Structure 1
Amino acid sequence: MLLVAQPNRGASTFVEIRGAEDAQDRRALPSQAPDGGYGLAPLGRIVAHGANAQDALCGCGSGLRACRCCELDPTFAASPEVRERIDILANRAARALASGDPVAAEAGSLEALDIAPRFPDALWILYQIRRRAGHEQAALALLQRLVAVAPNNVDATQELALLLFQRGDLASAEHHARNAVRLAPAHPRSHNLMGMILTEAQRPHIGEFHYRRVLEIAGARDPILLANLAWNLKCQGRIAEAREFYNESAEAAPDVFQTLFGWGQLEEADGNFAAAKAKLDRAAEICPDDPGLRVARATLHAREGKFAAALAEFEPGPGGDENGRSARARSDSNELLEKGRILDRMGRYDEAFACFDEAKRLAREITGKRYLDQEARETADRLRQFFVSDRLRLMPLASVREGAAQPIFIMGFPRSGTTLAEQALSGHPRISAGDELPFINEFSDTLPRLFGSPLAYPEALAELWMGDNRRGPDALRDAYLQKAELRGVIKQGDTYFTDKMPLNEMHIGLISLIFPRSPLIHILRHPLDVVLSAYSHHLTHGYFCAFALETIAQHYVLVMDLVHHYRAQMALRYLPIRYEDMVEDMSGSVRRMLDFAGESFDQRCVNFQDNQRVPHTPSYAQVKQNLYDRSRFRYRHYRRHLEPVIPILKPVMDRLGYSLN
């Protein structure tokens, strides 16, 4: 069974398509659990159900007692004498499930797991029952236990990766999807999961490889998979290729909602509004109340300047609940953010901010995410303590690899104007757009292993003082450039390519060791405008700081203080550029950036709106328009709503020369 996902801007709809499964890629379940037994309780230890606290059912909803489920003692083990009994129960449950009797299947699996809480076959049966019934928490708990006790079970590993992906836990989902590929490298579902997860995690270049592997392995061009690959290519800005795949997919299956929905979003991003409307209208005939579709249609209307029509997409439909709201009116956080941005364009600022507030509240409630303030502070403190001038003078620096295009690091807090700067610079014939390259962040995770250090980053950089690691910066430089080449961001004849990964400025110290001569262009914007704009979008960069107004401000100050430290301790090739200056004088700002990089001026950089690439950021629509100034000092419309963060931001505002007026 091959499971594929369709794009929905942060959420995915899943469609199953049949495919051959390679039995040779499946490894048998281990005959025993890692502790040498199945974790089986002796029959004499089973307590009859009653009022005893030990008999309370688990809160996850599995139907098991808590002491046999989420509160299971990790040392719990038992004699293998009960194996025959649990085999009988599990086989009986499996037959019942196969014959369409979930009640009997549930009873048998519960009885087996009360005796042997880690028995793989019974866990798999109960997982399927809970998943089909929509009990996601119970399904996840059971599946995690199954994968822990049977790590070579490909089906369970794939299912766990999918379940975590659907819950938005991309890091954990990727961990298990990678293991699925290790276990079954010729199984299409393993690669398909990697394609879905990596595309959603904004690493579509790698996701493309896995989608194309599915096409090779399956030997058929399934229309859903073609549409998924089209969305992946759209995320890379390869619009023409993506359109071809959407066309092929739609010819094979013309009435698939997800295909039409994704295709409509592609045309909207490319500015083909009539084509986008046709695709989204057709999708609406199939699934009129899809929340992602409402957001897409509203976005399209707003880009056409039809703000009333855009706002109407979020109005209640006929009928309603006890509060007079229909199902169509129950907005999610993405809808509320888009609605708020539309109200902002209409000058209805108080209503807009109310939408942003409610969207963030819902996002916190649904995802459980909060700003990881302690982790952020500890990381910043360790970077500040390590990267000091006395230590850095002893560090070896990477040399420049001759004949290779070099990175221009466009730095700046999310929503500060980095996309505008990249769109302008990439208009130059010798500068390619790399977009958000995750390589520096990846190095911060892999450095200890690479240098054989018992220390974490940044302290692991002390290994560069060892004779066998003196060429470490050169190795990191080559690894970075190789990753960029594999992504296809470098064209023949390029001198530079851009890297505008948000918050790369946290790692200026590391970057300066690897690319000491690369330009660091730091885009600055009024801090209140930055905080307001970040609050009006769904962002996960920066330790989840964007889930609340105050935490955005706190993280902004933390990052800017760290940049101030780097500049005081290091000799940097650093150029600050103000967003407000770009809006006021784009030609002058472009000249400054190109002169700083050592490139000649090119008028195409000033006419950034003619650049055919489509950035994969929330600013993709803005940089396709002529320059406007409505976002400059936008905070003035929201001054009273921003009062709580002004004291937090004031020291940085003063240091940067921004005032309140």
Structure 2
Amino acid sequence: MNDSAPALCACGSGLRPASCCRMDAAKLLPPDATRHLVPLIERAIQAYHTGAIAAAERLCIEVLESAPDRVGALRVLYDIRKAQGQSRAAEALIRRVVALDPNDLAATNELALILLSRGDLAEAELHARNAVRIAPESGQAHNLMGMILTEAQRPAVGEYHYRRVLELSEGRDPILLANLAWNLKTQGRMQEARALYKESVAAAPAIRQTLLGWARLEEADRDFTAASDVLDRMERLFPDDAGVRISRAVLLGRMRRYPEALAVLDAMAARSQNGMLGPDELLEKGRLLDQMGHFEDAFAAFTEGKRLARALSGNQYLDQQAGQLIDRLRGFFTAGRLRLLPRATVRTDVPQPVFILGFPRSGTTLVEQTVSAHSRICAGDELPLINDIANLMPRMLGSPLNYPEALSELWMGDQRDGLDNLRDHYLQKVRQMGVFSPGADWFTDKMPLNEMHLGLIALIFPQAPLIHVVRHPLDIMVSAMSNHFTHGFYCAYALETAATHYLRVMELVQHYRAEMALRYLPIRYEDMIDDQEGSVRTLLAFIGAEFEPGCLSFHENRRYARTASYAQVTEKLYDRSRFRYRHYLKHLAPVIPILQPVIERLGYGIDGDGG
């Protein structure tokens, strides 16, 4: 006789796998067969609301082991696991509630919030959209859409949903005002955002997140005195708040008071339970040490920050997925196939895109700030639309295949205009995002790693300028280690995987250039530093715009760049980031063999002077 307890589901719900994540819907009993369990569910709900958590948990598990589809019991067990901090179990349970009852507004909102909190914006948006469909006059649903779309870099559409909440609400909730203020800040509308923060704080003076957002707005808008005043206020309200301290360190760093900024971070570590900083704080510390010339300590901080980020997030390079997609792109976009594919026609009634391509931290923000200082070029920033089109393409072209193979539908008589539809979808979304400016003939799209989709871009916008910013690959590796970004299948969570993905992408670019005609201009970051005016003239001539001297003063461009480079592009052109890999050469040794072919192809070297 085996007295051992039955194995429980790995998610931590407390149920057996067959009653949880491995549930077979085909084996569920009809509702009438489990009607006798309803009194147990009612007792569980009552026990939970009277604080008898253990009894409520026991009753829920008893019900769900017999009837895993009883939503009432699932909801109570979800609330229990959420309160216990068992996030994996809570997510599994609320997912089942949503699957069983797609019209459950509260559960749909809960699931969307869980996904938003861990950064899974694409799936969070799916559920948030469903919440709005379920209840189009629910302020909560619209607020959630606003939050998600703002985080997903579609703030103009997010603004619409925040303003819908204001329309649906009787008053002006301070938290909503702060959310809208952050949204406007990401759009570069600093004055409007500042006014909303002031109104929010006047109504509710001690909301931490509101004050923190306000301080970050002032720092981003270069009013360091105002930012410091808000942080002083926060320190009086929240004396040991980690968010206040990291914001103070960032602010001091921008003011070039590096030792003081470092002291703030060291004090944070001393106050923490384990005497250590978190991943974001470690990367900030490394950047400060780099500015101070303490390169050994800086790289140690970068390395530990990345290790801790992997451990805490569970994210690592999606090697197989990245490799498979790149292989499929290479296999589909060949000269023979491209010869048979149509091209979209060119719209003349709207501004045209200028695609600024490049690996994260290669200098794309510098190029965008430079060209968008032109009177006829507006900045679109990081538009997620090419990726969106790749995902939507099968449905839009009526294909059973995924991208890129779905493009084969263009050979069908009823899809010969398919690329025009994709083009119009892109331009409509750009308009909805509020990118177009009066008098502009062009707008920029500088989504990192769009160069993976050069073939698709050239089919949809055959005359669009494709500006590829290249930089010494080892400098890019240093930047990948010193900053947190998730672009590129999480490649930047480790040095070796960043190098692997960089090589894959650059080889794919070479493939595109060999197989199809492209309106393509490579521009070296180092040339922008060494010969700014010559490089700017080349860029503008390639786009088709007349030279304007104001483009040389890109640092006076008052738009807010929504990237990690937002601070650097507010300064005059400097060369301290040029060939900084020299300080880290021994740490970069493991990836030099990986990158050597592309280093040589781009005309760089690996030596003491960076040539």
TM over 0.5: same fold?
A: yes
Q: 1:394 aligns with which of 340, 352, 373?
A: 340
Question: Distance in 1 between the 2:30 and 2:141 partners?
Answer: 36
User: C-alpha deviations, 1:222-249, integer Å up to 9, x for none?
Assistant: 0011001111111122211111111111
Instruction: Return the match for 2:465 from 500, 519, 532.
Output: 519
Q: Match of 1:76, as an amino acid?
A: K
Change (3 A) 1:307 1:628: same
Distance (Å, rounded) in 1 between the aligned partners of 2:2 and 2:138:
47
Listed one character per residue, the Cα deviations across residues 113-158 of structure 1 (whole Å, up to 9, x for unaligned) are: 2322221101111111222232222222221222222222111111
Q: How big is each residue's C-alpha offset from its partner over 1:206-225, in whole Å with a ceiling of 9 and x where there is no partner?
A: 22222112111123210011
TM superposition score normalised by structure 1: 0.89
Q: Note the alpha carbon deviations across 1:335-359, whole angstroms, 9 max, x for none.
A: 1111111110011111111111111
Is 2:519 the partner of 1:578? no
Matched residue, 2:436: 490
Structure 1 residues 137 and 392 mapped into 2: Cα distance closer, same or farther (>3 Å)?
Answer: closer
**Residue of 499, 502, 525 corresponding to 2:445:** 499
- Is contact 1:529–1:633 with CA below 8 Å preserved after alignment? yes
Root mean square deviation, CA, Å: 1.8
Letter in 1 for 2:405: E
1:294 CA displacement? 2.3
Question: SS of the residue aligned with 2:266?
Answer: coil
Q: Which residue of the partner structure matches residue 124 of structure 2?
A: 173
Q: Distance in 2 between matches of 1:589 and 1:79?
A: 71
Q: Which amino acid aligns with 2:3?
A: A
SS across alignment from 1:240: helix
Counterpart among 377, 380, 396 of residue 450 in structure 1: 396
- C-alpha distance in 2, partners of 1:257/1:341? 26
Residue aligned with 2:354, SS: strand
Determine whether 1:606 maps to 2:557: no
Query: 1:654 is matched with which residue?
Result: 600
Residue 316 of structure 1 deviates from its aligned partner by 3.6
Contact 1:407 1:498 in 2 (8 A): yes
> Residue type of the partner of 1:598?
G
Report SS of the residue matched to 1:543.
Answer: coil
Aligned partner of 1:350 among 296, 300, 304: 296
- The equivalent position to 1:477 in structure 2, one of 414, 423, 429, is 423
Partner of 1:238: 189
Separation in structure 2 between the aligned mates of residue 446 and residue 627 of structure 1, nearest angstrom: 40
Greater fraction helix: 2
Change beyond 3 A, Cα 1:467–1:58: closer
Counterpart pick for 1:77 among 28, 48, 52: 28
CA contact (8 A) 2:286 2:298 kept: yes
Does residue 252 of structure 1 match 2:198? no
SS in 2 for 1:628: coil
Quick check: 1:368 aligned with 2:314?
Answer: yes
SS in 1 for 2:27: coil
**Shift of the alpha carbon at 1:71?**
4.4
**Amino acid in the other structure paired with 2:122:** A
Aligned to 2:248: 297
- CA-CA distance at 1:281 after TM superposition: 1.9
Deviation at 1:66, TM superposition (A): 4.3
Give a deviation string over 1:345-386, Cα, whole Å, max 9, x none. 011111111111111111111111111111111111111121
1:594 and 2:540 correspond: yes
Aligned to 1:46: none
SS for the counterpart of 2:497 is helix
Structure 2 distance, partners of 1:409, 1:75, is 50
CA contact (8 A) 1:316 1:329 kept: no
Query: Is contact 1:317-1:328 (8 Å) kept?
Result: no
Letter in 2 for 1:174: E
Give the match for residue 134 of structure 2: 183
| Letter aligned with residue 139 of structure 2 | P
Any conservation in 1 of the 2:154–2:433 contact (CA below 8 Å)? no
How many angstroms apart in 2 are the aligned matches of 1:202 and 1:399? Answer: 28
**1:364 and 1:370 in contact (8 A); partners too:** yes
Following superposition, the deviation at residue 172 of structure 1 comes to 2.5
How far, CA to CA, are the matches of 2:159 and 2:429 in structure 1? Answer: 15
Of the structure 1 ranges 613-622 and 394-403, higher mean CA displacement relative to structure 2 is found in 394-403
* Aligned-partner Cα distance in 1 for 2:241–2:583: 32
The structural deviation recorded for 1:474 is 1.9
CA distance 1:79–1:269, change in 2 (3 Å):
closer
Structure 1's 375 and 412: CA in aligned 2 closer, same or farther, altered over 3 A?
Answer: same
Residue identity over aligned pairs, in percent, reads: 58
Distance 2:435 2:119 in 1: 28
What is the alpha-carbon distance in structure 2 between the residues aligned to residue 123 and residue 525 of structure 1?
53
CA shift for structure 1 position 478:
1.9
- Is the Cα–Cα contact under 8 Å of residues 315 and 329 in structure 1 kept in the other structure? no
Matched, 1:263 2:214: yes
Contact 1:436 1:502 in 2 (8 A): yes
Corresponding residue for residue 95 of structure 2: 144
Amino acid at match of 2:101: A
Distance 2:15 2:351 in 1: 59
The answer as to whether partners of 1:59 and 1:66 remain within 8 angstroms in 2 is: yes
Aligned-partner SS, 1:606? helix
Match of 2:180 among 229, 234, 255: 229
User: What is the CA–CA distance in structure 1 between the aligned matches of 2:417 and 2:32, rounded to whole Å?
Assistant: 59
* 1:558 shift after superposition: 0.7
Give the equivalent residue in structure 1 for 2:514: 568
Q: Counterpart of 2:381?
A: 435
Runs of at least 5 residues in structure 2 that lack an aligned partner in the other structure? none
How far 1:307 sits from its partner (Å)? 0.4
The within-5 A match list for 1:449-468 is: 449-468=395-414
Inter-CA distance 73–285: structure 2 relative to 1 (3 Å threshold): same
**Residue in structure 1 matched with residue 15 of structure 2 by the alignment:** 64
Question: Structure 2: how far apart are the matches of 1:450 and 1:405?
Answer: 24
Distance in 2, Cα, partners of 1:575 & 1:63: 58
SS at 1:315 equivalent = helix
Q: Which residue of 134, 152, 163 corresponds with 1:201?
A: 152
1:288 corresponds to: 239
- 1:314–1:328 contact (8 Å) kept in structure 2: no
Change (3 A) 1:80 1:499: closer
Kindly provide the amino acid, as one letter, of the partner of residue 631 in structure 1: S
Per the alignment, in what secondary structure is the counterpart of residue 576 of structure 1? strand
Letter of the structure 2 residue corresponding to residue 51 of structure 1: D
Runs of at least 5 residues in structure 1 that lack an aligned partner in the other structure: 1-48
Distance in 2 (CA, whole Å) between partners of 1:159 and 1:613 is 35
Amino acid at match of 2:484: H
CA–CA distance in structure 1, aligned partners of residues 72 and 604 of structure 2: 64
Cα offset for 1:56?
3.5
Residue 51 of structure 1: how far off its partner (Å): 2.4
Aligned equivalent of 2:305, options 355, 359, 377: 359
8 Å Cα contact 1:426/1:433 also seen in 2: yes
Answer yes or no: is the 8 Å Cα contact 2:358–2:451 preserved in 1: yes
Mapped contact 1:340–1:353 kept (Cα < 8 A): yes
Number of aligned residue pairs? 607
1:639 maps to which residue? 585
Of residues 89, 100, 109 in structure 1, which corresponds to 2:60? 109
Does 2:74 correspond to 1:128? no
| In 2: Cα distance, 1:245 partner to 1:593 partner | 38
Q: Distance in 1 between matches of 2:483 and 2:556?
A: 25
Separation in structure 2 between the aligned mates of residue 265 and residue 571 of structure 1, nearest angstrom? 44
Task: Give the structure 2 partner of residue 628 of structure 1.
Answer: 574
Query: Shift of the alpha carbon at 1:185?
Result: 1.6
Within 2, Cα distance between the matches of 1:415 and 1:133?
40
8 Å CA contact 2:245–2:268 kept in 1: the answer is no
Q: What is the distance in 1 between the residues matched to 2:463 and 2:91? A: 49
- Name the residue aligned to 2:43: 92
- What secondary structure sits across from 2:69 in the alignment? coil
